[in-house]
């Protein structure tokens, strides 16, 4: 792996926390991700199932984790299954984890080959009172049913062992994964630090005439050389009016003199992700109008980090509405909204947010959870919790004026004051102009 060894304490503690939330007699199973096929005999890069990695640290296909916390035999309370290797596999694919290596990575003492799973599971399920099976229950997931190994196993298991009582593991894991440990926070910080190095490289590279894809190439070079697998998500490198396309990923246009360049680009590290957005002037200098809008977005971002995000606050019902009202005030000051229209809308409590005038200029959410997934799992109560990592990403988009501005930092939610994991990455407009001028 490109990343440094992660202490097994992380995965041991994650399993202990999960076991404490399962009832007596519970048996749970989590599978690795599939090796994703592309076409013909080609595959795409393997990315581990986040839940499996969270509980075991094994970054390899054909892995299964079986947890039976209340089993009378201690050796059966945690059983990890990994793919059996061979001389032929080593020649064609390279090294696969041995039983001893899997034990050291995960902290699990009972490790077997994956081929032994079926027979052991058939024995243990007869001793279980409930079977807890996993499924991707992310609210925004569009994956089809029976898409993953977890999905296929759930269907097979319920057909083969129809008389058993089944429970959903995902809600329990979602609540656990939302609250990050110190090791996880450090891993996300490492991803942010690699992202910072990429952004620093860009400030010295961007100039009129550079192609968007050339900027993408500079970033991937910097990310990989510092131990990242690469981009945490498909990069958005949007110059001029392209910035008003929220998920612009073509990245094939020239950066023109006088344009702004919106960069939604970030690195992953050890399967943990960062998420950065900056908007910089292609020629190194914001126009007065660009600067006014930029400073408005920056003020909203600081308001969120310094005042609005606190543990226990509902995200949709309260936080997003608070940000919306602050955005309305900024849009009025910029001459984009009529104060009387905004006042009438605020008096209509039942007016849906998507119908309000500000949505013409700011049409997306402000924060999402971050971790093993870029849009990480969120607690069912949908509120900020202590040690949750979230993004803060306000924006204002002006297609009629040919530019859009979004800024984004990643923070750890803390009752004593949030920790900005990207505080070291330049964001102040004066600092960005000075750095680009120096380059």
For 104-224, where are the E strands, in sequence order? 110-113, 130-133, 166-168
Domain boundaries, the chain: 9-177, 182-438
Residue 267 DSSP label: B
State the residue for tokens 């009378």.
72
Give me the pLDDT at residue 144, please.
72
E-assigned strand segments in 180-318? 236-239, 260-264, 268-269, 272-273, 277-281
- Give the residue-averaged pLDDT of 14-43: 95
Catalytic residue among 216, 259, 408, 410: 408
Q: State CA 428 to chain mean position distance.
A: 25
Token pair, residue 46, equals: 């393997």
Query: Is 264 annotated as catalytic?
Result: yes
Q: Is 97 left (phi over 0), alpha (psi -120 to 50) or beta?
A: beta
Residue 137: its pLDDT value, please? 86
Integer Cα distance of 131 and 56 in angstroms? 19
Can 226 be counted among the known catalytic residues? no
Alpha-carbon distance of 135 to 158, in angstroms, equals 14
Residues 45-104 pLDDT 10s: 999 999 999 999 999 999 999 999 999 999 999 999 999 999 999 999 999 999 999 999
pLDDT tier at 119, thresholds 50, 70, 90: very high
Catalytic residue among 222, 259, 376, 393: 393
- The number of residues in the chain equals 439
Q: Which of 21, 247, 289, 325 is catalytic?
A: 247
Backbone phi, psi, residue 144, to 5°: -70, 160
Q: What's this model's pTM, rounded to 2 decimal places?
A: 0.96
Active site residue 275: yes
Yes or no: say if 385 and 413 are a contact pair by the CB < 8 Å rule.
yes
DSSP state of 76: G
pLDDT tens figures, 204-260: 999 999 999 999 999 999 999 999 999 999 999 999 999 999 999 999 999 999 999
Give the CA angle between residues 282, 285, 290 to the nearest 5°. 90
Assess whether 408 carries a catalytic annotation. yes
CATH fold for domain 9-177: Creatine Amidinohydrolase; Chain A, domain 1 (3.40.350)
What confidence tier does 107 reach under pLDDT thresholds 50, 70, 90? very high
**Catalytic option among 151, 368, 410, 420:** 368
Termini Cα distance of the chain: 34
Residue 375 annotated in active site = yes
Q: Is 397 a catalytic residue?
A: yes
393 is catalytic: yes
Cα gap 233→236, rounded to integer Å: 9
Q: Which fold has domain 182-438?
A: Creatine Amidinohydrolase (3.90.230)
Q: How far apart are CA 409 and CA 301, in angstroms?
A: 8
Token pair, residue 72, equals 């009378």
């Amino acid at each position: 792996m490109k990343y440094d060894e992660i202490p097994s304490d992380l995965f041991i503690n994650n399993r202990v926390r999960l076991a404490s939330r399962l009832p007596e007699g519970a048996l749970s199973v989590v599978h690795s991700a599939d090796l994703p096929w592309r076409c013909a005999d080609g595959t795409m890069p393997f990315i581990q199932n986040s839940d499996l990695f969270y509980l075991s640290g094994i970054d390899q296909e054909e892995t299964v984790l079986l947890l039976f916390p209340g089993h009378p035999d201690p050796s059966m309370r945690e059983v990890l299954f990994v793919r059996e290797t061979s001389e032929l596999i080593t020649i064609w694919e390279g090294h696969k984890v041995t039983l001893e290596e899997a034990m050291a990575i995960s902290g699990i003492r009972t490790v077997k080959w994956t081929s032994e799973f079926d027979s052991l599971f058939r024995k243990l399920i007869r001793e279980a009172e409930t079977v807890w099976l996993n499924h991707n229950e992310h609210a925004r997931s569009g994956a089809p049913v029976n898409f993953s190994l977890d999905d296929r196993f759930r269907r097979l298991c319920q057909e083969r062992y129809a008389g058993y009582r089944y429970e959903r593991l995902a809600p329990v894991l979602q609540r656990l994964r939302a609250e990050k440990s110190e090791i996880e926070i450090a891993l996300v910080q490492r991803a942010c630090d690699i992202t910072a190095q990429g952004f620093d490289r860009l400030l010295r590279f961007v100039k009129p005439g550079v192609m968007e894809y050339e900027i993408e190439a500079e970033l991937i070079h910097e990310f990989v050389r510092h131990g990242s697998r690469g981009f945490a998500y498909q990069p958005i490198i949007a110059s001029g009016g392209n910035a008003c396309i929220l998920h612009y990923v073509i990245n094939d246009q020239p950066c023109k003199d006088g344009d702004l360049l919106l960069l939604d680009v970030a690195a992953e590290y050890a399967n943990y992700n960062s998420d950065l957005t900056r908007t910089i002037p292609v020629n190194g200098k914001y126009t007065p109008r660009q600067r006014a809008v930029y400073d408005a977005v920056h003020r909203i971002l600081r308001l969120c980090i310094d005042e609005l995000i606190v543990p226990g606050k509902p995200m949709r019902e309260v936080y997003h509405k608070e940000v919306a009202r602050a955005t309305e005030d900024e849009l009025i000051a910029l001459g984009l909204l009529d104060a009387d229209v905004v006042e009438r809308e605020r008096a209509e409590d039942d007016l849906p947010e998507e119908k309000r005038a500000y949505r013409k200029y700011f049409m997306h959410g402000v924060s999402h959870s971050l971790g093993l997934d870029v849009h990480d799992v969120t607690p069912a109560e949908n509120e900020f919790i202590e040690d949750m990592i979230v993004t803060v990403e306000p924006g204002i988009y002006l297609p009629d004026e040919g530019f859009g501005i979004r800024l984004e930092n990643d923070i750890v939610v803390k009752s004593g004051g949030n920790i900005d994991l990207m505080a070291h990455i330049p964001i102040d407009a004066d600092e960005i102009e000075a750095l680009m001028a120096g380059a």
